[in-house]
Every structure is written in C-alpha cells, then in structure tokens.
Amino acid sequence: MLPKELLKEVRRIEIKTRQFVDSLYSGTYRSVFKGRGIEFAGIRMYYRGDDFRNIDWKVSARAGKLHIREHIEERELQVVVALDLSASMAFGSGSREKRETAVEFAAAMALVADRNNDRAGVCLFTDKAEKFIPPSKGKTHILHLIRELLYYIPQRQGTDLKAPLDFLNSTLSRRSVVFLVTDALDAGEIESQLKIASFRHDLILVLVRDKRESDLPDVGLIELEDPETGEEIVFDTSDKRLVEEFKTKIEARDREFEKMCKNLGIDMIKLSAGKSIIEPVCCLFSNRNASKR
C-alpha cells in the first residue's frame, strides 16, 4: 500500500491542478508539441540519433545533407521532466520553496501525460544525473514518479546543467518533450548541450525563481551563504548602491541566459516560488498556438 502522506500529497496536487490538467487534456496540450504523427510540421537537419525512418531523401539529396520530416499531433508523446535538486532549489522566502513549486509543475505535467495516455519520465539531477525513471504510462507508474519527485533526497548539492542534458541526449533514443526545470543560478557554458538537445527533442526551459533572490529587503547587515558551495559573505542591505548592483547583476545574468535560449529557439516558462504554475504554463501554450496560425 502507498503511504497515506503520499496519497494525501498527490490528492492535493490533483485538486490544485485539476482545472489546469483538464484544460490541457481538451486538446491544447497535444497540438503544441512537434513529434512523429499525421500532420506535417516541417523539415530540419538530421542529427545523430534521430530516427532514420523520418529522413526525407529528396530534400537531403538537394541540400547535400541529411534532413528529416517533423509532424504534429503524434499519436503517443513521450514527456520527460529533468528536475534540478541542487541545494539552491531548497530556498524559499515565502510559504513554499523553489523545489516545491518545481515538483508541483513536474507532477502536473505527469498527470497531463497520463490523462492523454502518453509516456512520462523524470531525471533528477544536481551536478550529475542522480536518478532516472524511464518514460512509461499507467497509474502505478505515475504514482511512483510523483513519489520520487516528492521524497527523493539528493546525494549532492551543486548544479551542473550539462549533466542532465548530456545524460538525456545519450539516453533518449526517441524524440521527446523535455522540460528542464532549474533555477539556473549558475548555468555555465551549456550552449552546445542545449543546441543538441533542442535539435533532438522539443526542449522547454522552466526557470524557477524566488523574488528575494534579486529583491533584497532593507534589514541591515545579513550573512549570505551559497547553499551549493558553502561560501559566506556579509552583505549590507541598507546600502542602496550595493543592493542595486546586486539586482542589476542578477537581472543581467538572466537576460543573457534568456537571450541564449531565444537564439536557439528554446521556449521558456518562468515560475515563482509559492505562486501558481497555471498562468505561466498556459501562457506558453497560448503563444505556441498563436505562432501556428
């Protein structure tokens, strides 16, 4: 039997996201993802690992390089959520931590996949891919997946986004919808990994932040500790110049990261710790539907 605590938490997530799950089940969800199916979506260059059966030999002959055909409304999608469990995801200045909001998002997407009879899987990572639950379907699988999302204890504290990207690029043989959920506080040099992943899969970045990470309140001298490295500094929050410089640095880093994703054609969802996941996700779906018209 499943623990009462797990069933209670799953029930809470189901109740909180029921309308959201139902709205995506009504058709929007399946229509915004590219995969192998009935309706032609476009041509792109072949990348090692793509299904050779999708190669368009006529286009490839004209272009001199291999190209494949993409389609919309795949009969069965494969959804994988790669979830950052580094120490910084445990931060939360309000009622909920970033990790809790990220887990709620991941669980909701698993429930949507289940409603649509699609496969769902997760990759839990820090500075390495720590646990991988291969995509599958069925109520038992979804409950197992949500249990790991809720209760898995990470073995390490740091973050390295290369780890899940390299792992999924080498592990997933089939084109998938991949949600990379992270606070991306130190993304590092990952452009090449993002480029490969976005070629092979429908990659979507889910950026989770807490408002206090860039908007510090005036409470005088505080001691800040990097949860991933343990480095400590004393910061004077009453110094407006320092606070503004800190905020500018954070915002500039985020803009640079968003610019890189945009240049690679990778969509992004922005979630705030403790706030509803519904509006940001629906906004992405709405934008994707609009771009098809």
Higher pLDDT among residues 254 and 135, named by residue: 135
pLDDT of residue 190: 87
Mean per-residue pLDDT, 26-51: 67
Whether 284 shows a pLDDT value over 90: the answer reads no
Q: Is the pLDDT of residue 78 over 80?
A: yes
Residues 208-231: tens digit of each pLDDT: 988 776 666 555 655 555 555 666
Predicted pLDDT at 254: 81
We report the CATH number of the domain holding residue 95 as 3.40.50.410
**Does a structural domain hold residue 58?**
no
Name the band, by pLDDT with cuts 50, 70 and 90, for residue 120: very high
Q: Which residues of 148-178 are buried (b: 16+ CB within 10 A; e: fewer)?
A: bbbebebebbbbbbbbbbbbbbeebeebbbb
Average pLDDT, the chain: 81
The per-residue pLDDT for 285 is 78
pLDDT exceeds 80 at position 236: no
Which pLDDT score, from 0 to 100, does residue 126 have? Answer: 94
pLDDT at 291 over 90: no
Res. 1 pLDDT band, cuts 50 70 90: very low
Going by C-alpha positions, the residue among 111, 129, 128 that lies closest to residue 120 is 111
State the average pLDDT over residues 98-116.
89
What is the rounded CA–CA span in Å between residue 235 and residue 67? 54
Contact 39, 71 (CB under 8 A): yes
pLDDT of residue 235: 60
Q: Which residue has the higher pLDDT, 13 or 62?
A: 62
In a domain, 102, yes or no: yes
The residue-averaged pLDDT of 185-203 equals 84
Mean pLDDT of 235-241: 71
pLDDT at 221: 59
* Residues contacting residue 282 through CB under 8 Å, at least 6 positions apart: 20, 23
Q: How confident is the model at residue 77 (pLDDT cuts 50, 70, 90)?
A: confident
Please report whether residue 28 resides in a domain: no
pLDDT (mean) for 14-32: 65
Q: Provide the domain count of the chain.
A: 1
**Cα gap 7→259, rounded to integer Å:** 40
> Does residue 98 lie in a domain region?
yes
Q: What percent of the chain has pLDDT over 70?
A: 74
**Among the ranges 20-34, 217-231, 278-292, which has the highest mean pLDDT value?**
278-292
25 falls within a domain:
no
pLDDT beyond 50 at 144: yes
pLDDT (average), residues 88-115? 86
Arithmetic mean of pLDDT, 169-187: 86
Structural domain for 248, as ranges: 77-291
Please spell the DSSP secondary structure of 113-156, one letter per residue. HHHTT-EEEEEEESSSEEEEEEEE-SHHHHHHHHHHHHH---S-
103 within some domain:
yes
Q: Is the pLDDT of residue 168 over 70?
A: yes
In this structure, which amino acid lies at residue 231?
E
How far CA 79 is from CA of 18, 172, 186, 204, in Å, comes to 19, 11, 25, 11
Would you say residue 191 lies in a domain? yes
On whether residue 227 sits in a domain, the answer given is: yes
